[in-house]
Structure 1
Amino acid sequence: MNVLRRLFKIGQAETNSAIDKLEDPIKMIEQGLRDMRENQDASMRSLAEVKAMHIKRNRELNDAIQREEDLQNKSVLLLKKSQSGEIEANEAENFVRENLRQKAKLSKDILLMKEDVATLEKQVASLEINVKNIKTGISQWENELNTLKARVKVSSATQKINKQMTNMDSNSVVSMLERMKDKVNQDEALAQAYGEMASASETHEDKMNKAIENISVEDELAQMKKQLGI
């Protein structure tokens, strides 16, 4: 079937493929399967042709055997008629001799026909096995190809993910985390500093005014209690 040779032909599936990349292996296998289907079709035609030859030769054999039997029966009948006086003995024997000569020739032909029929029968059986093997092989390899296509998709996706993970090495990740922590610490410290600055923004004068206000309030409260006799 020349499957391997066909599978490794460069440019069969993609004529513009670069030599260093060769062909897409999936397309190469698909091309090989197409070639195998063509071989299957050719094998089917060959099988049909050989079967037709076998049928034709077998019919010829059966016809020859029938003619041989007819000649034998006619010869016996002629001898019986000669014996009963229905026909002259010499005439009957001449007919019988001619029949026997034809029968002898037919016997040789029958032997050759039997050999041909046996040979064709073997060829039919061999071709039937080949056709069956091709069908089974195509079905099996198509299933394997579908499985490989799915595996190719998974492996391609896995490869992309692993490549991304490889590009992000552990050192760079740790470095990024450390820089992030430093920035967060810095932002927190800055926020605390602004808070402290806001608390410290109250001036000494403001504190004194609050104290005076508190004192005035206390004096006024004491005076009100005194007036009320409390």
Structure 2
Amino acid sequence: MSVFDRLFRIGKANVNHAIDKMEDPVKMIDQILREIDKDLEKVTAATTSQIAVEKRFERELNAAKEMAEKREQQAIQALSGGDEQLAREALTDKKRFDDKVSKIQASYDQAKASSDRLKQQLQDMKERVAEMKTQRSTLIAQAEAAKAQEKINQVMSNVGTEDLGAVFTKMEDKILKMRDQAEAAQTLANEGQELDRKMDQLLKETRDSAVEDELAKLKADLENNKSS
């Protein structure tokens, strides 16, 4: 049973419903094309057989016409030679071939009409199949786009635009908080460095003061020694 038989067996009113239930339309398209190709082969074989029948009748018809023409020429030759009886026999046989021509002509005309009809149907079918195969890539692209859209719709329905906005707001707040914490840490680090600098300056000044005091003491001692 072909895919078309399976679809239309349930009635045209339910065809669309059956198609809607198909999970993979791309596979369905390829299946339809495969079955159409098989049907095309069958129609081609039937058309070929019918053309063969037509050709056979055509050969028989031409042969009967040739024999009828031959017998007529023979009758003329017999009369020209003075043999009326032989001419009569030739015309009698010509009449037999004329009758045969009439019978074969009817069969040939019927066979040719069937051949012409089948050839036209086969041509129409080939054109339709070619058109469907050309459309295959477009249909598949549309199916893939529909699948992608369906996935997007599922994601959006699960998350929602409002939820997405809330998530982004929270992420923004978190990033700002991280930035503030980093800046605060940097400020504290700078303050610590400033304190160290001040301490170093104080220690330096203390050391410098001690040196100056020691230097003044040495000078005083020298002055005292000179005075003595």
- Normalising by structure 1, what TM-score? 0.69
Change (3 A) 1:219 1:119: same
Partner of 1:55: 55
1:65-214 alignment runs, 5 A limit: 65-82=65-82, 87=83, 92-93=84-85, 95-153=86-144, 156-157=147-148, 160=151, 167=159, 169-193=164-188, 195-196=190-191, 212-214=206-208
Distance 1:46 1:222 in 2: 132
SS in 1 for 2:80: helix
Distance 1:67 1:58 in 2: 14
Cα displacement string for residues 146-177 of structure 1 (whole angstroms, at most 9, x for unaligned residues): 33334444554565567657737223212211
Change (3 A) 1:59 1:192: same
Q: CA deviation at 1:67?
A: 1.6
Name whichever of 99-108 and 69-78 sits farther off: 99-108
SS in 2 for 1:22: coil
Structure 1 vs Structure 2 CA RMSD:
4.0
1:18-57 alignment runs, 5 A limit: 21-57=21-57
Partner of 2:225: none
Distance 1:117 1:22 in 2: 48
Aligned letter for 2:169? V
Conservation of the 8 A alpha-carbon contact between 2:25 and 2:143: no
Name the % identity: 25
Distance 1:203 1:68 in 2: 137
Cα displacement string for residues 130-151 of structure 1 (whole angstroms, at most 9, x for unaligned residues): 2233333323322321333344
Change (3 A) 1:197 1:212: closer
Change (3 A) 1:65 1:21: closer
Change (3 A) 1:73 1:201: closer
Aligned letter for 2:35? D
Which segments of 5 or more consecutive residues in structure 2 lack a partner in the other structure? Answer: 11-18, 223-228
Aligned residues: 209
Which segments of 5 or more consecutive residues in structure 1 lack a partner in the other structure? Answer: 11-18
The structure carrying a bigger helix percent of its residues is 2
Conservation of the 8 A alpha-carbon contact between 1:8 and 1:28: no
Distance 2:46 2:202 in 1: 119
Aligned letter for 2:211? V
